[in-house]
Structure 1
Amino acid sequence: MTEDPVRRPVVPEATPRPGGTDDFDAHSLRAETAARFTAAAAAIDAGDLAFPLPGGGATAERFAALRAVAEDDLCLARLVEGHVDALAVLAELGGPAPAPGRRWGVWAAEPPGEGLTAVRGRDGRWSLSGLKQYCSGAHSCTHALVTARAEDGRRLFAVALTRGTYEPVEGTWRALGMAGSDTPDVRFDAAAAEPVGDVEGYVNRPGFQHGGIGVAACWLGGAHAVARSLRAAGRRGSGPHTDAHLGAVDIDLHTAGLVLEDAAAGIDADPMDRKGEARLRSLRARAFVEAVCDRTLGHVGRATGAGPLCHDRRHARDVADLTVYIRQHHAERDLADIGALVSGRDER
């Protein structure tokens, strides 16, 4: 399989890479990933690890860097992607300047349930209380951008994660896949919060769509990681059926890379989305990459059988991580949105 010529950032090795022990230990895996995240955030602060802001003319480099981190470690990429996405959001919406030494997350999932409520006191200060689900980096982030429901609608807030006002809820992430990403529920109790942007400003800004494609770049990196076992089987000359699966995966991964490059060029050509194309661009890119990831998981599994899943811990983790991560895609709901957009029925 030919490799796409992407620039691969070197992520500092604060500790041995997750996956090096014989037994699965979610707490150790979380700690190891957190240490690598801390090292990566420090490298970003120092300028040694670059993720250009989207729309500035180097968006393809940003996507390639995210893909490369994900190919190395998908759980680490989830934390790094959240951090650099937060930096982009703060720059776009005029939020507080991100000081060195901070590790940011973006906690914006809003599944059914209790949710998070924002209240503005008589002194004009905001506070957050309630439950937020899917908070990646809950134990390792120092700050987070968090969506919450206020009296006037949904808002985005910057929150310092101070012990006593926020608490990860242990045991709320039970999956083996993405265990290192440290994504439990988090409970807030009158946490001081600073509003970032206007009501619904987080989702209505052009960068919301740009950031969604950055997540797809991480998915693609995860697919490349899963494909390593298939490449190895191909080099051993495992037969024509393996070659056929390898050829199918090569076509998909190569084409997905081109889709992300094309999306990056579109973002750089119209960063403020004056043409109104950002949402369809994001939906198309994410849907295609998710489908490529799903097909890659299928081809690799059918070609290599149970062996790598049972005997290669790194491969088993890569498969489990990618299987969970791509479920962040909204599947048929997003496909239906694409259909409504291209038919002209959706004017959003």
Structure 2
Amino acid sequence: MRWSNQLHDGAVLLRTPVMLASDDIARDLAELDGWGERAASVARTIERSPEEGVALALELAQHAGTEVRPIGEGQTLELLEVLATVAAADLSVARVVETHLRALAVLRQARDVMERPPQAGRGSTWGVFDAESPSARLTATAEGARWTLSGRKQWCSLAGSLTHAIITAHVGDTTRRAFAVDLRDPGVRVEPVEWTSRGLAAIPSGPVTFDQVVAAPVGGPNWYAERPGHAWGGVVVAACWYGGAVGVARRLTQAARERQFDQIGRMQLGELDVHLHYGRAVLAEAAAQIDGGGAIGVSARVLALRVRSTVARLVDSITFQANRALGPGPLAVEEDYSRRVADLAVYVRQEHGPRDAAALGEIIEAAATGP
């Protein structure tokens, strides 16, 4: 089935695939909806048994790795729609699927700069640990052709559940490099983490220590952060935020079916629709730019900063509007809704707010004042 252009944005508030384009792009909507149904099933298991649920989410991530083409390979719109659909069902599941797909994309992109980059083996599950912290430092050391990692890395989500990860480490005072690491190496120690957050409770993110852990380089020095795919990854995460906002907004649609809205309720529903329309338009345009070859170099970074900032702002606005319209009841007594709101609040804080805006302003200033 195909929604008409007139109904498309309203349809995103119903239990349908999260479509980001309403034109005649051909895609299997039943298959897209299936991603949401599978994610919802995994989410129910996570609620009952987080460990078992995460294992199922990793299986879904592996399946996505074989079915969804990486970003920048001509089907970026479909990738973003799959992740947004999964996120609308459950953000914890989306977090697992997104990080696995991002790692696979990095390994694939490394083929352009390496003759024999590391490969994702059958049955492997991957994460990406690239955050930096002033309280932790991970160093890579070369002994001939052999590299090892030693030190500590913060913010390593699901390190105890994954088999592998792409990890950034220092190879000098100002240089970092990406490495593929088997997290089952005896030199890897996942430290206990007091993850007290209500949001993404099943996806703890804490420190990991490395003691001379064998690592395989992925790209050259600074390649990881300088490649266009690094910025594109920010767009992929924004698609997950957007899907999470759809999941929150759908609760207001449910309320509209349960009772007749007054003018204020209709206004609030209309405002949510406007925000969602804006977000999907931004993501669809980003997908077109990435696949069209227009998002490389500085343009890739500008695109990611704009998309992330736009989606983060509309996420905050949608959450505020939905909470205000629904009142305290759903937050207080509905497990599904309160968890969605908490998950989204934690996930979207990966956007750096004023710092990202300042980074974008710096680029614009340089373009305006340069030769």
TM-score when normalising by structure 2: 0.85
Tell me the amino acid that sits aligned with residue 248 of structure 2. Answer: V
Aligned partner of 1:341 in structure 2 is 363
Contact 1:249-1:296 within 8 A present in 2 as well: yes
Please point out which of 64, 70, 91 is paired with 1:53.
70
Please point out which of 138, 141, 144 is paired with 2:165.
144
The CA deviation string for residues 91-148 of structure 1, in whole angstroms up to 9 with x for no partner, is 1113312122000000101122122111222x43111122211112212210000011
Q: In terms of mean alpha carbon deviation, does 181-190 or 6-15 score higher?
A: 6-15
Aligned partner of 2:92 in structure 1 is 75
Separation of aligned partners in 2, 1:237 and 1:272: 46
How many Å apart are 1:258 and its aligned residue? 1.0
Tell me the amino acid that sits aligned with residue 295 of structure 1. Answer: S
How many Å apart are 1:18 and its aligned residue? 4.6
1:1-348 to 2 correspondence within 5 Å?
2-4=10-12, 6=19, 7-10=32-35, 11=38, 17-18=44-45, 20-21=47-48, 28-29=49-50, 31-44=51-64, 47=66, 50-94=67-111, 95-121=117-143, 123-151=144-172, 153-235=175-257, 236-270=259-293, 273=296, 276-343=298-365, 344=367
SS of the counterpart of 1:158?
A: strand
SS of the counterpart of 2:246?
A: helix
SS of the counterpart of 2:278?
A: helix
Contact 1:340-1:346 within 8 A present in 2 as well: no
TM-score when normalising by structure 1: 0.90
SS of the counterpart of 1:140?
A: coil
How many Å apart are 1:271 and its aligned residue? 6.3
Tell me the amino acid that sits aligned with residue 290 of structure 2. Answer: I
1:223/1:14 CA distance change after superposition, 3 Å: closer
Tell me the amino acid that sits aligned with residue 92 of structure 1. Answer: Q
Separation of aligned partners in 2, 1:269 and 1:223: 27
Consecutive unaligned residues in structure 1, runs of 5 or more: 22-27
How many Å apart are 1:227 and its aligned residue? 1.1
Separation of aligned partners in 1, 2:302 and 2:39: 36
Contact 1:17-1:32 within 8 A present in 2 as well: no
Tell me the amino acid that sits aligned with residue 33 of structure 2. Answer: R
Greater share of helix residues, 1 or 2? Answer: 2
Contact 1:9-1:68 within 8 A present in 2 as well: no
The CA deviation string for residues 155-206 of structure 1, in whole angstroms up to 9 with x for no partner, is 1000001152212211242212111123222222211111111111101001
Tell me the amino acid that sits aligned with residue 17 of structure 1. Answer: R
Aligned residues: 335
Consecutive unaligned residues in structure 2, runs of 5 or more: 1-8, 13-17, 20-31, 112-116
Separation of aligned partners in 2, 1:339 and 1:151: 29
Separation of aligned partners in 2, 1:9 and 1:53: 19
Q: In terms of mean alpha carbon deviation, does 159-168 or 58-67 score higher?
A: 159-168
Tell me the amino acid that sits aligned with residue 58 of structure 2. Answer: T
How many Å apart are 1:19 and its aligned residue? 6.2
Aligned-pair RMSD on alpha carbons?
2.1
Give the fraction of aligned pairs with identical amino acids, expressed as a percent: 38
1:186/1:345 CA distance change after superposition, 3 Å: farther
Contact 1:41-1:101 within 8 A present in 2 as well: no
Contact 1:157-1:195 within 8 A present in 2 as well: yes
The CA deviation string for residues 263-308 of structure 1, in whole angstroms up to 9 with x for no partner, is 000001116726x411111111110000010001100111111100
Separation of aligned partners in 2, 1:231 and 1:12: 21
Contact 2:42-2:93 within 8 A present in 1 as well: no
Contact 1:14-1:36 within 8 A present in 2 as well: no
1:16/1:59 CA distance change after superposition, 3 Å: closer
SS of the counterpart of 2:44?
A: coil
How many Å apart are 1:345 and its aligned residue? 5.7
Separation of aligned partners in 1, 2:354 and 2:46: 33
Contact 2:43-2:90 within 8 A present in 1 as well: no
SS of the counterpart of 2:205?
A: coil
Separation of aligned partners in 2, 1:208 and 1:342: 20
